[in-house]
Amino acid sequence: DIQMTQSPSTLSASVGDRVTITCRASQSISVWLAWYQQKPGKAPNLLIYKASKLETGVPSRFSGSGSGTEFTLTISSLQPDDFATYYCQHYNTYSVTFGQGTRLEIK
Amino acid sequence: QVQLQESGPGLVKPSQTLSLTCTVSGGSISSGDHYWNWIRQPAGKGLEWIGRIYTSGSTNFNPSLKSRVTISVDTSKNQFSLKLNSVTAADTAIYYCARVTGLYALAAFDIWGQGTMVTVSS
């Protein structure tokens, strides 16, 4: 089974900062990776799919990159609404695997 | 605009079967290349994919849960369902249903239900 490992587990940052979250796969997954944002008490919300494609309606300050085994989610300038938990997710024809999550908190 | 809504008992006794239904509104469950998924999240923890069903009835499951899970679809009611048997306290979680749209399920979860809390306790 493919394992997804996110880092860091917790990230402290300030409004206006540029932040990067990393997701590593235990084996190559090509570009079959998504990123989600989840706020307390809410379902996750899709931000990025196919490693770098921005979901419709998601602000352009969010971007994704990577292929193979290493991927990143970057928020170019943090806004107050961005403090949340972020999950990466690998998907393929047979299964789905989530990373353990990265909690983005206010410094 | 398609929406998903989970429903089912909020309390299940240990060793019994957890049963949930996801109702699809605003669109047909059998149109397009849609895969219908169940995901769960214990309180304060991460997301765990349980499994999915295609409208043809074909299924895929998380290997760690496969032996206890059944997912079915009822196109006449525009619903799909989850059954998880022999539950324990470790199955206590928020359960979400979600949609994937894409050939061979090579796509992310674009629509989620709001989630329903299920507690396993006697």
Average pLDDT score over residue span A58-79 = 98
Contact B106 A94 (CB under 8 A): no
Contact B106 A34 (CB under 8 A): no
Contact B105 A93 (CB under 8 A): yes
- CB-based contact, A56 to chain B, within 8 Å: no
Q: Is the pLDDT of residue B106 over 90?
A: no
Rounded to whole angstroms, how far apart are CA atoms B39 and B98?
8
Residues A6-43 as b/e (b if ≥16 CB within 10 A, e otherwise) read beeeebebeeeeebebbbbbeeebebbbbbbbbeeeeb
Contact A91 B37 (CB under 8 A): no
Q: Is the pLDDT of residue B32 over 90?
A: no
Q: Is the pLDDT of residue B105 over 90?
A: no
Contact A96 B49 (CB under 8 A): yes
**Which of A92, A98, A100 lies closest to B106 in CB terms?**
A92
Query: Chain B: residue nearest A6 by CA?
Result: B46
Mean pLDDT taken over chain B: 96
Q: Is the pLDDT of residue B8 over 90?
A: yes
Nearest Cα neighbor of B14 from B67, B65, B64, B89 is: B89
Q: What DSSP line would sit under A12-81, residue for residue? A: EE-TT--EEEEEEESS--TT-EEEEEE-TTS--EEEEETTTEEPTT--TTEEEEEETTEEEEEESS--GG
Residue B115 CB-half CA count within 13 A: 19
Q: Are strands B11-12 and B69-74 parallel, antiparallel or unpaired?
A: unpaired
Q: Is the pLDDT of residue B117 over 90?
A: yes
Sign of CA dihedral A101, A70, B98, A48: positive
Chain A to chain B Cβ contacts (< 8 Å) = 59
Q: Is the pLDDT of residue A34 over 90?
A: yes
- CB-based contact, A46 to chain B, within 8 Å: yes
Q: Are strands A10-13 and A102-106 parallel, antiparallel or unpaired?
A: parallel
Mean pLDDT taken over chain A: 97
Chain A residues close to B113, C-beta within 8 Å: 43
Confidence of residue A101 (pLDDT cuts 50, 70, 90): very high
Average pLDDT score over residue span B52-70 = 95
